[in-house]
Structure 1
Amino acid sequence: MRRIGVVVNPIAGMGGRVGLKGTDGKVEEARERGAEPRAPERARAALDALAGTGASVELLAFDGPMGADAARAVGFDPLVVGAPSGSEGEGGETTAADTRAAVHAFVERDADLILFVGGDGTAVDVAEAVTECDSEIPILGVPAGVKIYSSVFAVRPREAGIVAASFEDVETGEVNDVDEDAYRAQEVSTELRAIAKTPVAEQRQASKQTGGGSVATLAEGVAEEVRPGTTYVLGPGGTVGAIKAELGFEGTPLGVDVWRADAGNGRASGAVPTGKVVVRDGGAADIEAALGERNVVVVSPIGGQGFVFGRGNQQISPEVIRRSTIEIVATRAKLDGLDALRVDTGDPDLDESLRGWHRVRVGRYERRLVDIE
């Protein structure tokens, strides 16, 4: 039986339909404009889909509008583990402290998943509370806020319920929030506020980050995960070039370089990982000869075409690919401009084995599922 903690932010999204571009600090104004609570309905939609899967689940919830009401409305009998500190009427004045208290209660009762209903602000509260508990319980958001810039949300409420019942694995997701005052002034300024474990599922939305630095943060993410003694085959292009720079050397812009991490390599925060270039601008034979026991090929798809292998990086031979783990990296903008990823290694059997869904790194922590056709 899967134990799921459900927490609802009853006021999330109230400012959207009345043009407030967010609800933070604007609840009373939203009500004066005639706003109606949105989150309870979306919570019921997610939980109705969860019930419809027939999965064996136990729901934990805070009382009233913070979860128990929605659960009972679709036929669940939730275990009530607490209550909001303020008003408990639908749309009542619950607080971020109530959300965090609910998360602490779920962690104490060994929940397998926290299903929360709200927007990015709620996601921040949930993720930070999980961290406060020194826990790695995965979280999954039911989108109910005005703006959703985090990758821990399902694309729609119904999909959230289905994923909650059926997920089998988790990965790291980004929790971003936007400055609502700037947003109301037509400026989008997002900030990475937390990272959290979240279910692996095609029905999750991608993170949205704006402004410069996406290539830089992606490169930092690769460098932070460098493994001691591992050999890295680094393909051509600007995105991978940023990774080479993060590893401490000037790479060959249109060539393939090979870099090996020191056996005792450990990276402190902000430090450059230690290692050495063993092949610069190498051909296939040079690269094959440089491979070690653990190898990682890092490549970025060709913009507009989507080729991961076979265009501009033929030096990365089928032999190299077979002996390596593949890390595909790309900015969100590049992926958004592609209909699919493609391979043309010259080896039909290898091409076939590479087809299917792959996790493409698009940020410091986030990966997006993309199909190689």
Structure 2
Amino acid sequence: MQRLGVIVNPIAGMGGRVGLKGTDGPAILARARELGAEPVSGARAARALAELRRLGPAVLAAPGSMGEQACAAAGLACEVVETGEATGAAATRAAARAMLGGGVDLLIFAGGDGTARDVLAEVGTQLPILGIPTGVKMHSAVFAQNPAAAGRVAAAFLEGRAATQEAEVMDLDEDALRQGRVSARLHGVARVPQERALMQAGKSGAAIPDEAALEALARRMVTEMQPGRLYLLGCGTTMRRIKRALGFAGTLMGVDVALDGRLLAADVTEAQILRLLDQAPATAILGVTGGQGFLLGRGNQQFSPAVLRRLGRENLVVVAGQQKLAALDPACLHVDTGEAALDAELAGYIAIRTAPDRSAMLRIAA
């Protein structure tokens, strides 16, 4: 019988919808809770684990909200390992050590880049790992595209249908992000199941030749903005070009709202967006995560299912450099909103603006 290790970071992703870029550190977690943030990782982990119920693997899980509860919700019996800590990085590392010593064949964890970094620090390349994407920052190539995909990848590996390959573990400095700077670091290489169609790629930057076209496009889009209409501008360097064309610096890794050519609200939360949508019609302008092809669910969780349903697919505008799109492999886009039904509704071809008078059609994968 194959043995599976399960670790859940119970606070991963809580900062997303409230615009906090992550939940590293007790002060940021406290602020997230003050803003009404709720845990999301346990439910997402349970969705992934439910895909494994038919296999009935032997499961070692971290205690309580760090894994045991998600296993119970998915209908998987588990043996609980001791961590010595209730939650946190130290508990994650202790659980990873216990699972390495317990001879698990695959360690599946729910979290973001910080959790991946903690797991890697203990198991290195000795043990294959797989990430269920539940954090705010997920630039590492160890994550599946969504929770259900993570479960299918794990099943393929446990059934001997998937080999392993090397994948980079990256992490961004959250404090630097809050100051408008991107500071990424490679923490190492992990072994992950080789299921290309279901795994996300590592984050990559935009190619330099795209810059002139995107600068011109940003200026054109500003002239096209309608009076009295809200423009929800997503995160990333492509969106920052539009913000600067409007005359403000904007938030690099956050959502800003413009109205009538000026900044109306900076670094907004899900709740703030919903209140603004009561006041005026709106368009959301989104970038594409380089190398991964994600539109939603990677660092822009403020665009929650509630927000997206209020907006409607017809009010989503996508902007990306032509070379960034050409580098996507496979050549499609992805969404991970947290609701499978909504992901399916968003699937299909969508126009992507690449220059003032150019656009490309790309498919959002179901």
- Please give the range of the TM-score, normalised by the shorter of the 2 chains: 0.5 to 0.7
Residues 1:160 and 2:150 aligned together: yes
Deviations 1:207-246 (A, max 9, x none): 0144899xxxxxxxxxxxxxxxxxxxxxxxxxxxxxxxxx
Deviations 1:298-356 (A, max 9, x none): xxxxxxxxxxxxxxxxxxxxxxxxxxxxxxxxx9775239849xxxxxxxxxxxxxxxx
Residues 1:336 and 2:328 aligned together: yes
Distance, in Å, in 2 between the alignment partners of 1:157 and 1:75 is 16
Residues 1:33 and 2:39 aligned together: no
- Is the alpha carbon distance of 1:103 and 1:339 closer, same or farther for their aligned partners in structure 2, counting shifts above 3 Å? closer
TM superposition shift of 1:136: 1.6
Aligned-residue identity in percent: 47
Give the match for residue 146 of structure 1.
Answer: 136
Distance, in Å, in 2 between the alignment partners of 1:114 and 1:194 is 17
Distance, in Å, in 2 between the alignment partners of 1:77 and 1:11 is 23
Distance, in Å, in 2 between the alignment partners of 1:85 and 1:36 is 21
- 2:51–2:155 contact (8 Å) kept in structure 1: no
Distance, in Å, in 1 between the alignment partners of 2:174 and 2:9 is 17
Residues 1:199 and 2:193 aligned together: yes
Distance, in Å, in 1 between the alignment partners of 2:148 and 2:206 is 31
Distance, in Å, in 2 between the alignment partners of 1:212 and 1:107 is 40
**Structural mapping, 1:175-190, within 5 Å:** 175-190=169-184
Equivalenced residue count is 211
| Over 4 Å off, 4+ runs | 331-334, 337-340
The letter of the residue matching 1:151 is: A
SS in 2 for 1:13: coil
**Structural mapping, 1:99-110, within 5 Å:** 99-110=92-103
- Is the alpha carbon distance of 1:180 and 1:210 closer, same or farther for their aligned partners in structure 2, counting shifts above 3 Å? farther
Distance, in Å, in 1 between the alignment partners of 2:165 and 2:326 is 22
Give the match for residue 14 of structure 1.
Answer: 14
Distance, in Å, in 1 between the alignment partners of 2:30 and 2:100 is 32
Higher mean displacement: 116-125 or 179-188: 179-188
Give the match for residue 309 of structure 1.
Answer: none
Q: CA RMSD in A?
A: 2.2
- Is the alpha carbon distance of 1:38 and 1:333 closer, same or farther for their aligned partners in structure 2, counting shifts above 3 Å? same
Deviations 1:124-165 (A, max 9, x none): 00011103xxx5210000001001100000000011011111
TM-score (norm 1): 0.53
**Structural mapping, 1:87-102, within 5 Å:** 94-102=87-95
TM superposition shift of 1:193: 0.9
Unaligned runs of 5+ in 2: 209-322, 333-366
- Is the alpha carbon distance of 1:337 and 1:85 closer, same or farther for their aligned partners in structure 2, counting shifts above 3 Å? closer
Distance, in Å, in 2 between the alignment partners of 1:42 and 1:191 is 26
SS in 1 for 2:38: coil
Distance, in Å, in 1 between the alignment partners of 2:97 and 2:181 is 35
**Structural mapping, 1:5-84, within 5 Å:** 5-25=5-25, 26-51=28-53, 54-83=54-83
Structure with bigger gyration radius: 1
- 2:56–2:76 contact (8 Å) kept in structure 1: no
